[in-house]
Amino acid sequence: MAVTHEVPLTTPHLKAVTVGRSWAVTHAWPAVRKFIVTKPLGAAGGAIILLMVLTAIFADVLTRYDPYTVDQRVQFTAPSVNHWFGTDEFGRDLFTRIVYGARVALFIGLTAAFIGATAGAMLGVISAYLGGRVDLYLQRVIDVLLAFPLLILALAIVTVLGRSVPNVVMAIAIPIIPRTARIVRSNALSIKENMYVEAARAVGSSHPWVILRHIIPNVMAPYLIMLTAQFGNAILVEASLSFLGLGTAEPTPSWGLMLSGSALSYAERAAWLAIFPGIAISLAVFGFNLFGDSLRDALDPKLRHRN
C-alpha cells in the first residue's frame, strides 16, 4: 500500500501567500476600483473585453454544437430556441461559430498587437537613445511605412506572404511597428536628457544597461497605451482581410469570413448571417477602444492632472 506524504506549508510559503494577498488588497484592488469609479466608460470596455475572453475560454461549455459540423437539413434556419443566431447555408449553428470565432479574433488580434507594439517600442527606444545616423535612417524607414494606411499595407504584405494565420499575424503586426515606434521615440527622447541618465553614463554604465534600467521602464506607459489601442485595430484588420478573402480560410470560424460570401449572397433571405457577426466585430472593437482611451487618460500625466 502506497503511503503519501503531505508537504507541510512552511513559514516562507505562508509569508509569500500573505504578501501576495496583501499586495492585491492594498494596491491592485484600490487601483481597479478607482479606475471603475473615475472611468466608467473604460470599465464598460474592460467588461466587454472580459466577456470576450471568457467566451473564448468557455466556448465548449456555452454551446453544444460543433462549429465545423455541416447539416443540410437545417440550413438557413431563422433564429430560434434551438439555434439562437440561426444557421448558415451549410446548416452550421451561427452562435457556435461566433463563440469560437472569439478565439480566432483574440489570438490574431492580441498576438499581432503584442508583436507590433513590442517591436515598435524597441525600435523607438534604440532610435532615440543612439541618435545620429541610426535615428535618421530608422525614422526615414518609419516615414515610408507610415505613408501607407494600416489596412493597405497589411493587404500588400499578406498578398506577398500568402494566406495563413501566421502570415495574417505578421501582416497586421508590421504596420503597427512604425506607429508605436514614433510615439515611444518621442517619450524616450525626453527621458534620455534627464540627469539620472547622464549620471548613469558618467559612471560608466553600458548602453544596454542604461536602456534596460532607465529608458524602458519610463516608456512603459505609452507602450501599454499603444498596445491596448492596437488590439481593436488588429481585430478589425483581421476581419477586413478575411472579408476580402486574404485572411483565414474556410471552415475557420472567423467573424470577417462569416460576413463574406454567404452573408452577401443571402442578405435578403437570411439577414442574420450578416447582423450577428457584424455586432460581434463592432462590440469587440468598441470595447478595446473604450478601454484604451480610458487607460491613456489614466496613465498620461498631463491628462491625469488636467482631470
Listed as ranges, residues in the chain with pLDDT below 50 are 1-2, 4, 6-7, 9, 13-17, 19-20, 23-24, 305, 307
- Overall residue count recorded for the chain in this entry: 307
Backbone φ, ψ for residue 277 (5° rounding): -65, -35
pTM of the model: 0.79
Residue 90 lies in a domain: yes
164-195 residue pLDDT tens: 888 889 999 999 999 899 989 988 888 887 78
Residue 30 lies in a domain: no
**Spatial CA neighbour of 38 closest among 230, 307, 239:** 307
Residue 102 lies in a domain: yes
Residue 59 lies in a domain: yes
Cβ atoms within 10 Å, residue 36: 14
Q: Are 228 and 288 in contact (CB under 8 A)?
A: yes
Query: What range defines the domain where residue 112 resides?
Result: 40-306
Distance CA(216)–CA(101), nearest Å, equals 35
Domain count, the chain: 1
Residue 22 lies in a domain: no
Q: Are 237 and 187 in contact (CB under 8 A)?
A: no
Cβ atoms within 10 Å, residue 201: 14
Distance CA(231)–CA(275), nearest Å, equals 22
Q: What one-letter code names the amino acid at 189? A: L
Tell me the CATH number at 103: 1.10.3720.10
Residue 159 lies in a domain: yes
Residue 21 lies in a domain: no
